[in-house]
Structure formats: structure tokens, C-alpha cells
Amino acid sequence: MRKNEMVKYVRWSLLAIFLVWITYAAYLHQVLGGGKAPSIHALCPFGGLESLYQVFTTGNFISKIFTGTMTLFIITLILTVLFRRSFCGLICPFGAIQEFFAKFRKKIFKRTLIMPRIVDNPLRYVKYAVLIVTVLYAWKTAGLWMAPYDPWSAYGHLSEGLESVWKESAVGMMILLITVLGSLLYDRFFCKYLCPMGAFYGILGKLSAFKVVRNEQACVHCGKCSKSCPMNIDVQHSLKVTSAECINCQTCVLTCPKPAALDSKAGNYIVKPMVQIALVMVVFFGSIAVSQAGGFYSLTPSQGMTTEALDYNEVKGYMSIEEAAQLTNTDLQEFYQKFNIPENVPSGTKMKEISHLIQDFDFDAVKESFSKQ
């Protein structure tokens, strides 16, 4: 059992590492700008799915999505077919946030709440509706229309300051708060009920040969497997866990007190949890390394697939005046005039920071004026 606890700590450590890394990357994006550091959107595999139609029909990605994003999407598809929703259980930083708040709850209150089944079952289908609506509108609008409502996007922009995030993504911020509060009550709250990517991986994961299998003869029906499952799957009464909700975290297998009562299997072969974690990491990082070597892993505009000029209403606050002029294929002096920027403002100033120098300058209002033209 001590070895099993060690494997649990390995999983939590991996989740923590991915969360810290993504958080730092999001901070760098705010400090350095999108031309030098990838955005939270570029680092999320879901952007690949949102951009899929645009890539096939025009050969270009939607704004903020690049070859690296699509590569991450493809890698996670491979992971899901091989190891079910292992991305959710071992890598996803937003899942990590929920798990760590849940651990805090268990430390303080020593208990886990379970949503009543009459409420839980219908709510599980909400994420599929979110998936359909999000993807179809992204394909229709050729943009990340969901960003203002996305809690992950809100989290990634927290380093801008709460006032800025609230102004740009009030709904996303509220859903982020609901997710945090929900995680203080229920395990993996967002994953169960709202995550569109989890819904997609759940469907695709049905193709995987990996299953948690219960040996009825060895099982003592203690119920620890079901109680430990962050997705509240009834493992205790399942001979095979085939639920799309399974995030392949291996918690049930690691919690089981009886040897051979619960195993993770690929076909007839038992795969130990630590081996499975190692395989997932090898596939994930190995695929990224191969794509980098092949030049398919770029996450910033300077390396992106598309070379089309941005529209003026697509200029972002993190861009400097000079960068924005270049990306819109506009002469620098003309750009100053179009955006009503006084000539004494240095060209290296970020668009969102011009108002710090010029009190009457409203970047959002100027952008909106271009949208109406």
C-alpha cells in the first residue's frame, strides 16, 4: 500500500508541475506579449478542435491558435485512444486546480460530498451541450467566441489584475469562482458537468483498450474504489469500468486494499498504474519532441501557420504599437493615426497600457469602432 501511495503522489506532482508551468506561461504572455510567449488559448488542446473547420476550409488557424495547438490536440487524441482520458487525469491544469481544492476540503472537513443522483445524472449531459455549442459556433464564427465565458481563459489572465479580467471576461470569472466553490464541495466539479473537452475525450476514449477491471472473486466489496473515484463512478458494482466519465487517474486501483481485486488492463494484459503513467508521459512529451524537431510545434504569431494580416479589431492589448502595426500590415505613422494615438507615445508601448500614458485613450472603444465599420 505504501507503494500505491507513492504512485498517487507522483500523479499529484505531475498535475502540480503542469499547473505551475501553465500558470507561469500565462504570466509570461501578459508580460512579454503574444508575439514572444504563447497565450493560454494556444496552450490548450481544445483550440485545435475549435480551429479544425477553419484549417480544412481555408488552410489557416483561427486567431490565437497555431500549429503547436493543433499538435497538442492531435497528441491528446492519440493519448485518449490509447489510455482513455489520461490527459484529464494526469496532465490537465484545470483538473489539477479542482483536485487541489478538493484535497484542501478533505483536509479541513474530512469528508466528500456526492451530488444526489437525481441531480447528478442530468447535469452530466450539460458538458455535451457545451461541447456542441462551443465547437459549432467556433466553426461558424472562425474565432474563439467562447473566450469571454471561459473560466480557463479567465484564470490565464489573472496576472492582468482582477479589474481587467472582470472587464473582459466577467462571465468566465464567475464560472471560475463557481468551479472553485464547487470543488470545495464536490470532486472535479467542472470536469463532471461543464468541460467540453472532457466530453469529447470521453466519447473518443470509448475506443481505448484500457479498462479498469474488477475481479468479483477477489473483491471484498469494501466500496473504497467507488468512494475514492473523483468522478463518482460506481466501480464497486462494475466488472469493467467503461464509463465515459473515467479520467484514468488510477485512484480506484491504487486505493483497493485487496491484491488482484482491481486492475487496469489493456485487453488481457495487466498494466500497473506507474507503468501507465510513464507510458502517458513518454507518448505526450515524445510526441511534442518529434513535432518540435519537425518544425510543427509553434505557439506564437511569429511562427504561426497563417500569414494573413490582422483586422484592426483583432489587435490585442498585449501587442506593442509597433507589433500591432506590423501584424495589420500598416505603416507605423498611419497606425498611430487610425488608432488616435498621440505621436509622443513610444512605439514599444503595449496597446492596453496606452491609457496609462494618455488618460482619454480607450483601447476597447477604438477597437469597437473598427468592428462597426
Same domain, 298 and 332: no
Does the pLDDT value for residue 303 go beyond 70?
Answer: no
Contact 247, 85 (CB under 8 A): yes
Same domain, 174 and 105: yes
Contact 212, 253 (CB under 8 A): yes
pLDDT at 35: 67
pLDDT at 342: 92
Q: Mean per-residue pLDDT for 142-156?
A: 91
Render 238-295 in DSSP notation, one character per residue: -SEE--TT-----HHHHH--STTTEEEEETTEE--HHHHHHHHHHHHHHHHHHHHHTT
Position of cell 504512485? 7
| Final residue in a domain of this structure, among 266, 291, 308 | 308
pLDDT at 34: 63
Instruction: Report phi then psi at 210, rounded to 5.
Output: -75, 130
Same domain, 170 and 316: no
Render 71-107 in DSSP notation, one character per residue: HHHHHHHHHHHHHSSHIIIII-HHHHHHHHHHHHHHH
**Cell digits of residue 173:** 470569472
Q: Specify burial of residue 6 (Cβ count, 10 A radius: 0-12, 13-18, 19+).
A: exposed
Same domain, 192 and 279: yes
- Closest to 350 (Cα-Cα) out of 79, 35, 24: 35
Distance separating alpha carbons of residues 284 and 272, to the nearest angstrom = 18
Top-confidence residue, 363 or 15: 15
Same domain, 156 and 193: yes
Q: Helix or strand or coil: residue 210?
A: strand
Indicate the DSSP class of residue 149. Answer: G
**Cell digits of residue 285:** 512529451
Alpha-carbon separation of residue 29 from 73, 289, 366 (angstroms): 21, 22, 23
Same domain, 235 and 192: yes
- Closest to 189 (Cα-Cα) out of 297, 254, 95: 95
Indicate the DSSP class of residue 350. Answer: B
Q: Chain centroid to CA 282: how far? A: 20
The CB-side HSE value for 11 (13 A sphere, CA atoms) comes to: 28
Same domain, 261 and 324: no
The CB-side HSE value for 46 (13 A sphere, CA atoms) comes to: 27
Does the pLDDT value for residue 229 go beyond 90?
Answer: yes
Same domain, 235 and 292: yes
Distance separating alpha carbons of residues 60 and 52, to the nearest angstrom = 9
Top-confidence residue, 130 or 359: 130
Alpha-carbon separation of residue 48 from 20, 38, 266 (angstroms): 22, 14, 28
Same domain, 333 and 199: no
Q: Specify burial of residue 137 (Cβ count, 10 A radius: 0-12, 13-18, 19+).
A: middle
Contact 81, 204 (CB under 8 A): yes
Q: Mean per-residue pLDDT for 197-211?
A: 95
pLDDT at 372: 63
Report the chain's mean pLDDT, rounded to a whole number. 90
pLDDT at 365: 84
Contact 236, 245 (CB under 8 A): no
Same domain, 299 and 314: no
pLDDT at 305: 43
- Which stretch of DSSP H or E encloses residue 90? none
Same domain, 234 and 264: yes
Same domain, 340 and 256: no
Does the pLDDT value for residue 126 go beyond 90?
Answer: yes
pLDDT tens digit sequence for 261-299: 999 999 889 999 999 999 999 999 999 999 999 988 888
pTM listed for this prediction: 0.84
pLDDT at 31: 78
pLDDT at 108: 84
User: Number of structural domains, the chain?
Assistant: 2
Contact 299, 28 (CB under 8 A): no
Does the pLDDT value for residue 241 go beyond 90?
Answer: yes
Q: Which domain holds residue 333?
A: 310-371
pLDDT at 1: 59
Indicate the DSSP class of residue 304. Answer: -
Does the pLDDT value for residue 32 go beyond 60?
Answer: yes
Contact 249, 11 (CB under 8 A): yes
| Final residue in a domain of this structure, among 268, 290, 308 | 308
| Final residue in a domain of this structure, among 262, 283, 308 | 308
**Cell digits of residue 50:** 475549435
**Cell digits of residue 328:** 495589420
**Cell digits of residue 332:** 507605423
- Of 25-39, 106-120, 148-162, 335-349, where does mean pLDDT reach its minimum? 25-39
Indicate the length of the chain as a whole number.
373
Q: In what order do the strands lie in the sheet with 210-214?
A: 240-241, 210-214, 262-266, 269-270
Distance separating alpha carbons of residues 263 and 22, to the nearest angstrom = 32
